[in-house]
Amino acid sequence: MLVTGVRARGVRAGRPATVSTDHGPIRGGAVVVATAAPMLRRGLYFAKTRHSRSYLAAFRVAEPPAQGLFLSVDAPTRSIRTTPDVATGGPPLLLVGGGGHPVGRVASTRVEAQRIVAWTNEYFDGASLVAAWSAQDYESLNLVPFVGRMPRGRRRIWIATGYAKWGLTNGAAAGLRISAEILGEPWREHRPWVQVLGTRTTAPSDLARGVVENAAVGRELVSGWADALGRPAPAARPAEGEGVVVHRGGVPYGVSTVGGRTTAVCAVCPHAGGVVRWNDAESSWDCPLHGSRFEASGRLIEGPATRDLRAGSRRDVAGR
């Protein structure tokens, strides 16, 4: 049975294991937490992974490159490949990706996305933009995914995260390992390569990278609150597609205008208390701490947060 459209809030490692949802509990003998960022605090995986957003765009070009996947060796990194043009049946489309950055930590995501288009126009004459989108990825500090039993899961909760943009292969490998463990198959004998996933020895370099990343999280927490408290409400009503963080009574609020509607939400991420920032490419509120994202209305897009941003009142909307 496949259940969709139901938000999971948490997991209890009882017998049976129980997933808490908005529509009541779901029980089973085993639970696999395979969300991009683990929604559970046990294991502190949100602090052991780095989050990033990157961009991809499709173009029609006069002369598509040779079939294959190509990655630049210089910076900024760009990847190119082709894909069939199923809409017109014409020559293959060119896909160009790159522009990775930590979630919520750039001045303008719109500018980052436009750099992909500018780069393509520079190297492919007559490139015509067909579509553009973005993706969010997580990687562990030593680039080896976290796969296996979750700490304090009583051998009933498994985790898979940190694919480092190689989900097509790492995700399949994680599924093989976890399913074998749940079914009691002797994977160590028949699939020794699976041992690599989730089996690690922490090296000094891993600890150093962890210190650097979590120091950055701490700086974002402090700077986010400082910036918000430096902008008292009311401010000018944001232009279409724009958002701004202000404060009222010491509480940060995010005010944005999307589709002609100006909306205010509490700008404090319910996961770890970071102040969210406006994503002007996708009209969303993004948390720079651990990568949670929310619609302009405050509705959760992805975690590790499990709750929406609290709605603001009419007086919190700029210009009212």
Looking at the structure, do residues 116 and 168 belong to the same domain, yes or no? no
State whether 54 and 119 are in the same domain: yes
Predicted confidence band at 187 (pLDDT cuts at 50, 70, 90)?
low
- Give tens-digit pLDDT for 218-271: 999 999 999 999 888 776 889 999 999 999 889 999 999 999 999 999 999 999
Are 160 and 187 contained in the same domain? yes
pLDDT beyond 80 at 277: yes
- Residue-level pLDDT at 205: 55
Gyration radius of the chain's alpha carbons: 22
Q: Is residue 42 part of a domain?
A: no
Gap between the Cα atoms of 26 and 12, Å rounded: 10
* C-alpha–C-alpha distance, residues 58 and 60, integer Å: 7
Residue 151 and residue 136 share a domain:
no
Residues 85 and 16 in one domain: no
Whether 121 maps to a domain, the answer reads yes
Q: Do residue 155 and residue 27 come from a single domain?
A: yes
**Beta-sheet pairing, 157-161 with 31-33:** parallel
pLDDT at res. 75: 86
CB 18 within 8 A of CB 25: yes
User: 206 or 11: whose pLDDT is higher?
Assistant: 11
Residue 128 lies in a domain: yes
Report helix, strand and coil shares of the chain as percent, to nearest 5: 25, 30, 45
Residue 246 inside a domain? The answer is no
* Mean pLDDT score, 261-286: 96
Q: Give the start-end residues of each E strand in the chain.
A: 8-12, 17-21, 26-28, 31-33, 49-60, 70-71, 78-83, 93-101, 128-140, 146-149, 157-161, 243-248, 251-258, 261-266, 277-279, 284-286, 293-295, 300-302
Sign of CA dihedral 187, 189, 194, 198: positive
pLDDT at site 207: 62
Residue 129's pLDDT band, with cuts at 50, 70 and 90, is: very high
Residue 300 lies in a domain: no
pLDDT reported for residue 253: 95
CATH number at residue 131: 3.30.70
Q: Where a domain ends, among 180, 196, 212?
A: 196
Q: What sections of 142-196 are H helices per DSSP? A: 167-183, 187-190
Distance in angstroms (rounded) separating the CA atoms of residues 102 and 44:
19
pLDDT band at residue 199 using 50, 70 and 90 as cut-offs: low
Instruction: Evaluate whether 164 touches 143 at the Cβ level (below 8 Å).
Output: yes
pLDDT digits (tens, 9 = 90+) for 39-84: 888 888 888 888 999 999 999 998 878 888 899 888 889 999 999 9
Predicted pLDDT of residue 66: 84
The tally of domains found in the chain comes to 2
**Does the residue 309 lie in any domain?**
no
Give the global pTM: 0.87
Render pLDDT for 143-170 as a digit per residue (tens, 0 to 9).
888 898 888 888 889 999 999 888 888 8
Domain with 56, as residue range(s), is 50-140
Determine contact, residues 139/162, Cβ cutoff 8 Å. Answer: yes
Structural domain includes residue 105: yes
Rounded to 5°, the CA angle 206-207-208 comes to: 90
If asked whether residues 94 and 120 sit together in one domain, one would say: yes
Alpha carbons 3 and 91: distance in angstroms, whole number: 39
Predicted local confidence at residue 62, as pLDDT: 86
> Of 116, 140, 164, which one is at a domain's C-terminal end?
140
My answer on whether 27 and 153 are in the same domain is yes
pLDDT for position 190: 64
Find the mean pLDDT for residues 173-201: 76
Q: For the segment 286-320, what is each residue's pLDDT rounded down to a tens digit?
A: 999 999 999 999 999 998 999 999 998 766 665 45
> Contact 57/134 with Cβ under 8 angstroms?
no
What pLDDT is attached to residue 79? 94
Which residue among 98, 118, 140 closes a domain? 140
Specify whether 18 is located in the same domain as 99: no
